[in-house]
Chain A
Amino acid sequence: MKNDNKQRPIDTIVDEEFLDSDFEFVHTDKDAKIHDEKFQSKPTTFAKDAFRRFVKNKASVVGAIIIGVLLLSSFLSALSPYKISEADPGYGLMLPKIRDGGDGFWDGTETYKKAYDAETGMPIASDEKFNQRAVIKESLQVLPEYEYYTEPNANGHFGFYHLTAAQTKRGFAFFQNYSVEKGPYLNLKDTDGAKLKITIGGTDGINGNHVRPFDINLRYRKYNDFYDTEKLLPLATDIITDKEEESFDIDIGAAMTEASVTSAYYAQISIEFPIETEKTLDENGKEVETVIPDYILIEKMEFTCEETATDHAKQRLAEISFTDAGGNAFEMGPNNQHSKKHTGYWQSNVKSNLYKARCQMCTFRYDQYVAIFGLRENLNAYYGKKIIMRFVERGLATLSDPDDLSTFALVNPDSDECPVRSIVKMDFDPVEEPDMAAKYPDGYCYTVLGYRHFGFTSIPKFVFGTDNGGRDLLTLALSCLKNSLLLAIITSAICLSIGLVWGSISGYFGGNVDLIMERITDILSGVPWIVVMTLVMILLGRTYITFGIAVCLTGWIGTSSRTRTQFYRFKGREYVLASRTLGASDARLIFRHILPNGLGTIVTGSVLMIPTTIFSEATLSYLGLGLQGTDSFGVVLSENQKFLQTRPALVIFPAIIISLLMISFNLFGNGLRDALNPTLKGGEQ
């Protein structure tokens, strides 16, 4: 009847009849006592309500579960069969292994591509550096063509080398130095009469001729302008164009007189030549430009000075050093004191500085676990007559002739208890075959079972691999996790309590108290965290506790400002005023009325501080400014970073764990904030 008011014409309403009783009031709940009835809805507490909201947020629940799992597993590091303290570098840098397979996926095998033996020029799989039992036979493939290898090497065919700067100021040193741009620095003070002689030797073995023309420049700078590259002045220069020319001299003394240089100067020798490029076609037919590498073959850098030169000047010259491409220092020549003329020279040891050579290569897959923990012959240094006799005494083996270890025989060949499996006599003449004789100092070759040698009862499986010192990465990562979590939780708790007290006082009392306290926090929070951390670490040492102190020093400021804001928000409310009128003390107002209202925001801030602390610790340790002597993600990552190319797993696994930890803490914290403070839902941070 109500709904179709619009459609009906007005006169039909007027026509309708109503009774008087339609307009009378009626008591519906007369004499009912509703205050006695129980609520239809269930009562709920703040915590229950928050929990209900938290559970709704699936991502946060996942985060909380991951945190729980990580927390639990961090305590498992103590139960690991591979104790960190008992690790042996003998099985360092093992590959991660989770299954047997031999197909290359997480099975402890690695593929050697273009392997070569610099000594013989043969493919390296045949070399005894590799345990033949561990080479997977099906994968062995000898490459048909000769190729070049480019790294400093003692033995190789057609090698040549180049000179590079002695100091690298920063970062990575590369062998692709196309020109020797920055030469070694010399101090030229008091070296009147000094002469530099540079000897160029050898030939480019591949093309059979010298390198392109190049310039040798001796330049100098005034003492005060040492680092100002603009003020580099030429002192002497020599352009080497004649390919047959083998050495040249620079008379430093004469050059200095000519240039009217009288005292206290530094000089720089640079050997410079223009970069040349060539264009070739790559596999896809695309044109690529490559730089033709240049090599200067320097045999000797020699300084001489007049007999009258002071000892001081000679000492100066003797302090200079040169380094070649391989980072090997030039050999110091004999210092001829008697003639009073030579100050010594720097000679390159040609054998150790070969830079590029060619040889035949092969490709194969290698099972590292078989190589290290299977039968192997290269542990001879650990065994001798004394140790073999110990096995005999224990009844594991027999020795029919006590003076001849080759009569060694196992009592029970089926039992693997004795690490040594067999002994073969190796008699080499130290004069004729010194290398082989040095390899078997006591004249025997021991075949050893690797896992027994290292004290395992079977071949171990390192799921994440091992680091350089043979420590199981999984155990190590769990130990780091424990340390990080412990540190972060403790410091967060300390920061929470300091910040709570500071913020409460500052926010509750306001006025001048607030003004002064705010200035103090302003100053503390004005210093960047890395500055505070490093200062504390320098002053107090790089320990676990110091780091905690450094975090606590400024970490409470966030909590304090949050608490202060909450106090400002609630202290003017009517219920606080009411309580104050009733005579409540300051403590009661703070702890019973104001703090509980703001606690949600404050606690969430502290939870989010945990990942921040873990992050700062990892970052600082990674930079090498943080903890020392404690298992920490930062330390582990920075130690393993040098193996990034060869053993990426050593970096990948810890990085994944720390990232997972950070992600789940952030998820958990966000969920907690939304749950504890519903008005902020979906807001920032």
Chain B
Amino acid sequence: MGKYILKRLALAVVTLVIILSLTFILIKLLPFEQPVGMTDAKLAYYSQQIHLGYVVSFDHEVSGYGDCLFHYVSSGSGPKIQAYYYQTPIWQQYFSWLKNIFTEWNWGTSVKVEMNRSAIAIITERLPVSMSLNIISVIFSVPLGIILGIVAALNKNKPVDHIISTLVMVFISIPSFVLIVFSVWLFAYQLNWLPAAWAKPTDPTSVKIASYVIPVFALSFGSVCGYCRFVRAELCEVMESEYLLLARTKGLTKRQAIIRHALRNAMVPIVPAILAEFIGILGGSTILERLYGIPGIGGLFYDALNAKDYNVLFVDMALFTTISLVSGVFLDLSYGLIDPRIRMGAKK
């Protein structure tokens, strides 16, 4: 088991490094985004870039480095100071990037979103907002989804099952932005029960709590439906199995048979999914955060992309990629923990 876990983790790390390297190179191939703002803020940005090894500066024009990024001439009465800034070749930038991450944990600074601030700091500032939303949504949606799934499976092909299954089908098909827009329209604009956007830091606590309702609702909908469908399918399969028939024939009541045999076995694929969901807490929904004005990392992705702030965008992408890879590995490993017969991805 230990060897298997190590192997899976090592593979995930290799995959992550390859994905991040590819993304880094692709992003660096894009046209260089000039920082905006005052001259001294620009200078601060470029000096940081030089420190990171992405940009070089000369006191005269040189060829072989592509177009000049920025030409600085000092104002003031003293002797004129000139500086020409150029981008270093991409392969050099790539090695500088690796060096910066491993030696300083430096992922670059923001160009536009919050100028000259470290991208990691921006992300860590916004992470708690997304996390708090996701935690509440998971706490709410997992039990609800499982209960609905159990109810549907135990009443298979009865009206209760049909109602639950139809609703699940409908809500899983409706795009999330449609759901969000309509809940804002209905509960915020028409009925005026809830705020139409995320609470500002100055708002009273009641508004802050109320502003959690729509995002949690929107985030939970998908996973409630997903769990419900998953649990129903698994439980239905188990209910028709021979060992459950044996359990009933040896004298267990239906309730005993379901709780002791059916549910436990049906939970084998479901528990890992729940565990993986907890890793997903770190991620943020881009659409929800943009529509509801939530200052989380999903909204940051949108902001950074629109502002062409590639450093912030890259760190955000890296976070999303890491989350999806880690939860994938976790999912596979937890299968083995729950049911030792299963070794996902192992040789036959």
Residues of A that sit less than 8 Å from B by CB = 169-172, 174, 178-179, 181, 187, 189, 223, 226-227, 264, 275, 310, 312, 316, 519, 522-523, 526-528, 530-531, 534-535, 538-539, 611, 615, 618-619, 622-625, 637, 641, 644-645, 648, 651, 655, 658-659, 662-663, 665-667, 682-684
Whether B321 and A527, one on each chain, are in contact in the complex, defined by CB atoms closer than 8 angstroms, is: yes
Q: Are A684 and B233 also in contact (CB < 8 A) when A264-B40, A659-B178, A667-B169 are?
A: yes
Chain A contacts for B11, CB-based, 8 A:
522
What would be 15 A-B contacts, judged by CB atoms less than 8 Å apart? A171-B197, A174-B197, A227-B121, A522-B11, A523-B22, A526-B15, A615-B175, A619-B175, A619-B176, A624-B306, A625-B305, A658-B178, A662-B174, A663-B170, A682-B236
Residues of A within 8 Å of B95, CB to CB, are none
Pairwise interchain contact A644-B185, C-beta atoms closer than 8 A: yes
Q: Which of B195-245 contact A (CB under 8 A)?
A: 196-198, 200-202, 204, 229-230, 233-234, 236-237
Whether B172 contacts A622 by the Cβ 8 Å rule is no
Residue in A178, A645, A659 whose beta carbon sits within 8 Å of that of B175 in the complex: A659
**B181 within 8 A of partner (CB):** yes
Q: Which residues of B contact A310 (CB under 8 A)?
A: 76
The 3 nearest A-B residue pairs measured at CB: A171-B293, A662-B173, A663-B173
Q: Measured between alpha carbons, how far is A226 from B38 in the docked complex, in Å? A: 14
A619-B287, A644-B181, A663-B170 given; A227·B15 CB < 8 A: no
Q: Is the CB of B321 within 8 A of A619?
A: no
Please name all residues of chain A whose beta carbon is closer than 8 Å to the beta carbon of B86 when the two chains form the complex: none
- Which residues of the partner chain A approach B305 to less than 8 Å between Cβ atoms? 534, 538, 625
Tell me the smallest distance from the CB of A524 to a CB of chain B, in Å.
9
Which B residues lie within 8 Å of A615 (CB)? 175
- B155-173: CB near A (< 8 Å → 1, else 0) gives 0000000000000011011
CB atoms of A528 and B169 under 8 A apart: no
A519: chain B residues at CB < 8 Å are: 15
Per a CB cutoff under 8 Å, which of B176, B200, B229 touches A684? B229
Q: List chain A residues, Cβ under 8 A from B299.
A: 170
Q: Is B177 an interface residue when CB atoms closer than 8 A count as contact?
A: yes
Closest A-chain residue to B39, C-beta based?
Answer: A312
Chain B residues near A264 (CB-CB < 8 A): 40
User: Taking A523-B19, A526-B324, A531-B317 as contacts, is the C-beta distance between A655 and B178 under 8 angstroms?
Assistant: yes
Interface presence of B128 (CB below 8 A):
no
Also in contact, A523 and B306, with CB within 8 A (given A623-B290, A655-B181): no
A-contact bits for B28-54, CB 8 A (1 contact / 0 none): 011000000010100010000000000
Determine which residue in A174, A530, A665 has the highest number of CB atoms from chain B within 10 A of its CB, and name it: A530
With A189-B40, A535-B27, A666-B169 known as contacts, the answer to whether A526 contacts B175 (CB < 8 A) is no
Cβ of A457 to closest chain B Cβ, rounded Å: 37
Hey, which chain B residues are within 8 Å of A171, CB to CB? 197-198, 292-293
Residue on A nearest B299 in the bound complex, by CB: A170
In the bound assembly, the distance between CA atoms of A306 and B50 in angstroms comes to 37
- If A171-B197, A227-B117 touch, whether A618 touches B229 (CB-CB below 8 Å) is no
Q: Which residue of B lies closest to A662 (CB)?
A: B173
A226 B181 Cβ-Cβ under 8 A: no
Known: A623-B302, A666-B173. A651 touches B198 (CB 8 A): no
**In the complex, are the beta carbons of A535 and B286 less than 8 A apart?**
no
Query: In whole angstroms, what is the CA distance A619 to B285 when docked?
Result: 12
- The interface centre, meaning the residue of A226, A522, A651 with most chain B CB atoms within 10 A of its CB, is A522
Q: How distant is the Cα of A499 from the Cα of B22 in the complex, in angstroms? A: 22
Q: Which residue of A lies closest to B234 (CB)?
A: A684
Q: In the docked arrangement, what's the CA distance between A535 and B44, Å?
A: 28
Identify A522's interface contact among B15, B75, B234, B286, CB under 8 A. B15
Residue in contact with A527 in the complex, picked from B23, B121, B177, B200, CB distance below 8 Å: B23
- Give Cα A264–Cα B286 distance, bound, in whole angstroms: 36
Report the separation of the CA atoms of residues A644 and B229 in the bound assembly, to the nearest whole angstrom.
Answer: 32
A535 lies within 8 A of B23 (CB): yes
Distance from A33 Cβ to chain B, minimum over Cβ atoms (Å) = 43
- On chain A, the residues within 8 Å of B230 by CB distance are 684
Residue of B nearest to A189 (CB): B40
Contact flag A622-B15 (CB < 8 Å), given A170-B295, A683-B237: no
Nearest-CB distance from A230 to chain B (Å)? Answer: 12
Docked Cα-Cα span, A179 to B202, in Å, equals: 9
